[in-house]
Chain A
Amino acid sequence: MAALNVLVSGCGRFLRGLLTGPTVTSWARPPARWLREVVEIQEGKTTIIEGRITGTPRESPNPPNPSGQCPICRWNLKHKYSYEDVLLLSQFIRPHGGMLPRRVTGLCQEEHRKIEECVKMAHRAGLLPNHRPKLPEGFVPKTRPRLNRYLTRWSPRSVKPIYNKGHRWNKLNRLPEVEVRTQLLGFGQGQSYKGAAGRKGWSSPSPTIPFLSDWRPHGGACKGFSQLLMGN
C-alpha cells in the first residue's frame, strides 16, 4: 500500500498506463478469492448484511499444460471445442444464460469471444434449456411453435430473406458450411468476378474480424470435445 502511494504521487499520466487494467499475460496470476453469498438479517431495528463465504468452485488439479495463461490454453482446448460442448460452455455462463466477464474467468480476449459466440449458438440451438432469462412473477409466456435450428451464428431477428439469389454471373456467396471446406483447401473460391464477391448474401463470418477468419464453428467437422471426453 505504501509503495503504491509512492508511485501514485509521481506524474500521473505515465502511471495511469501502469495502474490501469494490466493485461493478463504481463503479470502472474493473482491469488484467487472465495465466492461469497450476501445474507441480510433483520434483528429488530438493526439490519445485518453479511457476505458469507460459500463453496467456491476450484479449477480441477493437474491441467495438461500448466504454463498456459488462459484456461483454454492450460487444458489444451485451443481449437477443440464447438457449440455442442455444453459441459465446457456452461462453466462460463451465469444462471440466466449471460456470459461471465473475462477478468473473472481469466480467458484471453480471442477465446472469450469464441466462447461467447459458441454460447450464443448453443442457446439458439436449445442446448441450454435451464439457463433461460428470469421472467417477472406470474408471467405465463405464450408458447409459440419454436423452429429447431443449429449452428446459428447470427441472431434470427437480424436477418432478412434473400429474395434474389442472383443470376449465373452474379450469384451470392455460398453457404458458410460449404465455405468451410473450401477455406480449408485454399482461401476463398477463386471468384474472378468482382460482382460475385461483392454481393452480400447468406450469413457467413465477417472477414473484417481477424480471429473469425481462421476459426470455424464447425459443428460436425470435428467431434465436440465433451463428446470425445465422454467416450461417445
Chain B
Amino acid sequence: MASLSRAPQQWATFARVWYLLDGKMQPPGKLAALASVRLQGLHKPVYHQLSDCGDHVVIMNTRHIAFSGNKWEQKVYSSHTGYPGGFKQVTAAQLHRKDPVAIVKLAIYGMLPKNLHRRTLMKRLHLFPDEDIPEDILKNLTEELPQPRKVPRRLDEYTQEEIEAFPRVWSPTMTVKHVWIVLKCNGVRSLRPEDYRL
C-alpha cells in the first residue's frame, strides 16, 4: 500500500469512525464497557484526553438486551425530581418497559469519565431499540463490533445430525416400588407383579 503524505495521513488518523454494536441477547454492562472505550477514543494509540479523538457508536436492538441472574427484578434505578417527595425508584424491568433505550444509556453514562466531556460523548452515542436505523446513520457506519457475550444455541437451532451425533447418556432402569411390611399376625404381603414398574 502506498504511504500517504502528511496531511492525508493525519486526516486518516484523526477521522471519526462510526461503529455498530448489536445488543441482542447481550448484557448491557458489557455493551456499555465496549461503547465507552470507543467513545472516549481509548482504543487508539493516539489517545489524549484533550484531543477529542472519540468515535461514534450506534447500538441497535437495545430492546432485546439480556440481564444475567435476577437483575431485571432486583436492579433498581433511582432518581430525584428535585421536589420534596420526588424520590423515585424503578426496577430495571419497569424502566425497560417505559423506555427500551434507558438501561444502556445509563450504563454508558456511568462508565464515561465524570467531566464536562461526558455530555459531548453521549451526543456521539446513538441508541435504537430495534433494527431500524435511519438512512443517514446507516451510510456512516464503517465497522460492526463483535458481540461481547457468546449467545448459547437453543435446542431447535441444533441440526438433527448434531443431535444424533451426541451420545445418549443413560438407559431406563428397573426399580421396585417401596414395599410396606405389614406387621400383622395374619401374615405379610409379598411382592406382586404390579410392584415392579418403570
Q: How far is the CA of A203 from the CA of B75 in the complex (A)?
A: 11
Stretch with Cβ within 8 A of B (4 or more), from A42-50, A57-65, A190-198: A57-65
Q: Among A19, A107, A160, A177, point to the contact of B69 (Cβ < 8 A).
A: A177
Interface size on A, residues (CB 8 A): 76
Choose among A29, A86, A147, A176 the residue with the greatest number of B CB atoms under 10 Å from its CB: A147
Q: Which of A54-107 contact B (CB under 8 A)?
A: 56-60, 63, 71-72, 74-75, 77, 83-84, 86-88, 90-92, 103-107
Given A5-B190, A151-B68: A86 touches B155 (CB 8 Å cut-off): yes
Q: Which of B53-94 contact A (CB under 8 A)?
A: 64-70, 72-76, 89, 91, 93
B91 contacts which chain A residues (CB < 8 A)?
161
B170 contacts which chain A residues (CB < 8 A)?
59, 71, 91-92, 105-107
Query: When the two chains form their complex, are residues B155 and A129 in contact, meaning their CB atoms are under 8 A apart?
Result: yes
Stretch with Cβ within 8 A of A (4 or more), from B109-117, B120-128, B138-146, B161-169: B161-169
- Say yes or no for B158: interface residue by CB 8 A criterion: yes
Q: How far is the CA of A154 from the CA of B96 in the complex (A)?
A: 21
Query: When the two chains form their complex, are residues B173 and A29 in contact, meaning their CB atoms are under 8 A apart?
Result: yes
Query: When the two chains form their complex, are residues A19 and B74 in contact, meaning their CB atoms are under 8 A apart?
Result: no
Q: How far is the CA of A147 from the CA of B194 in the complex (A)?
A: 47
Q: Among A8, A86, A128, A148, point to the contact of B190 (Cβ < 8 A).
A: A8
Residues of A bordering B, CB below 8 Å: 1, 4-5, 8-9, 12-13, 15-16, 19-21, 29-33, 35, 56-60, 63, 71-72, 74-75, 77, 83-84, 86-88, 90-92, 103-107, 125-131, 145, 147-154, 156, 159-163, 175-177, 202-203, 219-220, 224, 226-227, 229-230
B165 contacts which chain A residues (CB < 8 A)?
229-230
A60 contacts which chain B residues (CB < 8 A)?
167-169
Query: When the two chains form their complex, are residues B181 and A16 in contact, meaning their CB atoms are under 8 A apart?
Result: yes
Taking the closest CB of chain A, its distance from the CB of B90, in whole angstroms, is: 9
- Say yes or no for B6: interface residue by CB 8 A criterion: no
Chain B residue at minimal CB-CB distance from A2: B190
Q: Which of B173-187 contact A (CB under 8 A)?
A: 173-175, 178-179, 181, 183
Q: Among A15, A156, A226, point to the contact of B72 (Cβ < 8 A).
A: A156
Given A8-B181, A130-B156, A150-B68: A161 touches B74 (CB 8 Å cut-off): yes
- Say yes or no for B172: interface residue by CB 8 A criterion: yes
- Say yes or no for B51: interface residue by CB 8 A criterion: no
B155 contacts which chain A residues (CB < 8 A)?
86-87, 90, 127-131
Q: Among B25, B163, B174, point to the contact of A32 (Cβ < 8 A).
A: B174
Taking the closest CB of chain B, its distance from the CB of A62, in whole angstroms, is: 9
Q: How far is the CA of A60 from the CA of B166 in the complex (A)?
A: 9
Taking the closest CB of chain B, its distance from the CB of A69, in whole angstroms, is: 11
Q: Among A12, A177, A219, point to the contact of B183 (Cβ < 8 A).
A: A12
Interface size on B, residues (CB 8 A): 47
B44 contacts which chain A residues (CB < 8 A)?
none
Chain A interface SS verdict (over half): loop
Q: How far is the CA of A20 from the CA of B70 in the complex (A)?
A: 41
Query: When the two chains form their complex, are residues A33 and B198 in contact, meaning their CB atoms are under 8 A apart?
Result: yes
B67 contacts which chain A residues (CB < 8 A)?
147-149
Query: When the two chains form their complex, are residues A175 and B69 in contact, meaning their CB atoms are under 8 A apart?
Result: yes
Query: When the two chains form their complex, are residues A125 and B167 in contact, meaning their CB atoms are under 8 A apart?
Result: no
Query: When the two chains form their complex, are residues A19 and B68 in contact, meaning their CB atoms are under 8 A apart?
Result: no
Given A1-B191, A12-B181, A127-B154: A149 touches B66 (CB 8 Å cut-off): yes
A/B interface sample: 18 pairs, CB < 8 A: A1-B191, A16-B181, A19-B181, A33-B173, A59-B171, A86-B155, A86-B158, A88-B169, A130-B156, A147-B67, A147-B72, A148-B25, A149-B70, A151-B68, A162-B74, A176-B69, A229-B165, A230-B158
Chain A residue at minimal CB-CB distance from B182: A12
Query: When the two chains form their complex, are residues A203 and B69 in contact, meaning their CB atoms are under 8 A apart?
Result: yes
